[in-house]
Amino acid sequence: MCGIFGIIERDSSIDPQHIQDSVRRLLLLSESRGREASGLAISSPKEIGVLKRPYPASTLIKQREFSHFFRDHISAFSSNGSTSKSAEGLSYALIGHSRLVTNGAQAVHENNQPVIASNTVGIHNGIIVNDETLWSEHPELSKSSEVDSEVLLALIEKHYQEGNSLEEATRRTFQEIQGAASIATLFREFNVVLLATNNGSLYAAIDPNSTRIVFASEESILKNFLRSKEGRRLYEAFPTIRRVQPGEGCLIDLDSPHHYFFSIDPKKLPPEQHRLHQSPAQFEIERSANGRTIRDLFNGAQENTRKSPPSTPQRGVLPPVPQSFEQHVEERATAVQKLRRCTRCVLPETMPFITFNTSGVCSYCENYQKIQLKGEEALGKYVATFRKNNGEPDCCIALSGGRDSTYGLHYAKEVLGLNPIAYTYDWGMVTDLARRNISRICGQLGVEHILVSADIKWKRENIRKNVSAWLNKPDLGMIPLFMAGDKHFYYHANRLAKETGVEKIVFCENLLETTSFKTGFTGIPPLFGTENTITLRSLDKLKLAGYYGKRFLTNPGYWNSSLIDTFAAYCSYYVIPHDYFFLFQYIEWEENEIMGVLNNTYDWEVASDTTSTWRIGDGTASFYNYIYFNVAGFTENDTFRSNQIREGQISREEGIEFITRENLPRWDTIREYCALIGVDFEHAIRRINEMKPLFCAA
């Protein structure tokens, strides 16, 4: 889920400044995939130098140590460099990383990339979801960090030391891991670069003579680099871009102009079929025995003397839940049970714009229009109009890591035979659980995953400011402001469709998940019979803008650095075109079937603090649902289960049973949310508990 890139250079006459400028450009382009840490490694005849820091690439390139790193390593390869010995015939490899933090805090040096594992230095994009199991199964391996990437590098070296070829060592390693992985690795003992991927998130630009190879996580990143002045300095003509296919590796010799691709999937042997020699000479890997060291440039250290880092704070160190909070929830839950509810669904009397007829049936049920599916036959005909049979991507699937989009990706790939690209917008509230589930399915299906990472630190600061302002003057209608930062999801989906050239953007939103009460609390009545969950009439969009504008004027706390971001989010959600293909307009959303596929096929991970499988990939949901339940006596769960009842999927009795369990506060997730955005947990809950409910709480 990070950005990786690299340059393999065999032309010793190239100006070192051109290389430094090229790396600067690649770092900035790769920052779109991760902004929380960055790093580089350069392989030279004497050593592999590593520079990594716990801040974004845009900050790293401004540091003096960045220039010094190139001065100390690149100049040795240039005939114009400072060394007296001719560098003719030498090659070097540089790899870089822009990190989105998952396992292991970036404040701990060893957790950042490039990762050093004994005799290897590597970078990794993806998540290994079974890393703890692999460490326990291989106790002979030495663990020095919390990052999952380390076990992957350690396994490659282990299998190689056991007498396997580097190809076979890579193949065996990828058989053991679970999750998505695209890697680039340098070795202390021999002068080669290894590239490998199980989901195809790796592209290489190769010139005809194999003098120069540049690779990156995304084709668009590579193309943007090649079109830049830095790229044009390296390549006289636009080179061929070659995707490293899912289940494929590439070995690049730094001592000769040779490289070849090979299969890391045992089902696709022999690897000789994938060889792409640059000359008739046989490609062989031999130990160079040149005595190279790996030097981690951390606090001026001359050698790689790493210490085991302290454990990353986990749930055990989160603040305890005061007993008074638990007691308050019990009292509110008792009062909620007394609310008048629809006799057909489970919606309570506090639902905005709700009325009841003489039979006790609510207006939402009376006006509900059952979902009219277009059907599988229509779906098949429609998909045939854009499906590509040549292996090229034909659609982009929005993948949040939730159950609907994860199943949608499975259905598109395995049932419809599409060749999708998965896309995620990570705005800082995508949970680690969602990230791991994304990695599971993309790795198993061999689907390229494009992640667009926001400036997460800035986004979380915006959330903190808006939540703090809201706590000073609570208003149910303003709660969606907490989620404004994720609405750029739509903008980037449109942008990526153009960049990748795919014809369709696929959304897998569940039509049962309508939550009109969120705008209902701003005075906007529900719109029945819509085909998707984001429809709002033009007049209502103006009313919504007016509602927000009035609250902004009366609450100065909302006038903060998030204003531009919030306005852009409004435009992304309500203004820009949403010309999407909605999968569940054609096929029925059936919870048991979907969860059966996810659990049995992909070992899908669920949250430990709720029985629900909905919204567990969204770090914000537990917080705002606590507010809705505490003040209005219902949550998103009530609307979702009511729609299931109307569609005949569950009974009303089952709906009551579900919401009774699912509306319980998710204390663990709420505390983690508060910790992430920098809001005091106890202060926030006390302010929420002090709000006057819309029902009798006595």
Q: What is the pLDDT of residues 283-325, one digit of tens each?
A: 555 555 456 788 787 754 333 333 333 333 344 467 789 999 9
Helices (H) and strands (E) in the chain, counts: 24, 19
Instruction: Extract the tokens encoding 491.
Output: 């903008």
Among the residues of 128-165, which ranges form H helices? Answer: 131-137, 149-161
> What's the rounded Cα separation, in Å, for the pair 502 and 77?
41
Say if residue 270 is preceded by a cis peptide, omega within 30 of 0.
yes
pLDDT of residue 536: 74
Q: Kindly report the pTM of this predicted structure.
A: 0.90
Instruction: Extract the tokens encoding 519.
Output: 């705008």
DSSP 414: I
> What's the rounded Cα separation, in Å, for the pair 282 and 522?
71
* Nearest of 128, 75, 118, 73 to residue 95 by alpha carbon: 73
Q: List the chain domain ranges.
A: 3-296, 324-338+369-689
Residue 402: count of CB within 10 angstroms of its CB: 24
- 3-class secondary structure, 237: coil
> What's the rounded Cα separation, in Å, for the pair 260 and 253?
9
Which H or E element spans position 424?
A: strand 420-426
* Nearest of 25, 24, 99, 22 to residue 56 by alpha carbon: 99
Which H or E element spans position 124?
A: strand 120-128
> What's the rounded Cα separation, in Å, for the pair 601 and 424?
21
pLDDT of residue 211: 81
Please state which CATH number belongs to domain 3-296: 3.60.20.10
> What's the rounded Cα separation, in Å, for the pair 687 and 555?
16
Reported as a single tens digit per residue, the pLDDT across 489-521 is 999 999 999 999 998 999 999 999 989 999 999
Say if residue 313 is preceded by a cis peptide, omega within 30 of 0.
no
> What's the rounded Cα separation, in Å, for the pair 363 and 349?
11
C-beta separation of 252 from 192 below 8 A: yes
Residues of the chain with pLDDT under 70: 12, 75-90, 104, 268-291, 299-317, 529-535, 698
Instruction: Extract the tokens encoding 495.
Output: 């942008």
What is 504-544 written as a DSSP string?
A: EEEE---TT---THHHHTTTPPP-TT-SSTT---HHHHHHH
